[in-house]
Amino acid sequence: GHARRAKRHVHDQRPVAAGRGATVWRGHQPRRTRVHALVAADGRLTRQRDLAWQRLTAIPGVSCVKPQGALYLFPKFDLAVYPIEDDQQFITELLEKEKVLLVQGTGFNWPKHDHVRVVFLPHADEMNDALDRIERFLANYRAKHAPT
């Protein structure tokens, strides 16, 4: 009785096809999920990624590859513009001065002190505020460390 129905139910729930992030389950119609809406070409996460990437790469001495599937950016600082000797101290200084938390590149086993990790999950208004603060911090850092 119950065991046979349970076994049949589990059997009917096995995936019959999978691909590109969608699994079609036997007995269910595929449907557009909230995740698809977030990552679509016009989705919120795509817009936030583009916003963060555009804002960061517009800052002098900052370059970044636009991610295609990650939820973060990994911008690189030109060490001639930002002479960072200790990236953990660098992000700590950013946190203390601007109240924005990033993660240093060496925290992800990056060998140089020239990268940080920026997550672009916050909504656009919060992202813009954080990027304003990062931009201000970097402008002050450049001015403080400019060759004399």
Q: Which of 66-70, 98-102, 105-109, 131-135 has the lowest mean pLDDT?
A: 66-70
What is the DSSP secondary-structure string of the chain?
A: -HHHHHHHHHHHTSEEEEETTEEEETTS-----HHHHHHSTTSHHHHHHHHHHHHHHTSTTEE-PPPSS-SEE--EE-TTTS--S-HHHHHHHHHHHH----EEGGGGT-SSS-BEEEE--S-HHHHHHHHHHHHHHHHHHHHHT---
Q: pLDDT band for position 16 (50/70/90)?
A: very low
Q: What is the pTM of this model?
A: 0.74
Average pLDDT, stretch 99-125?
Answer: 95
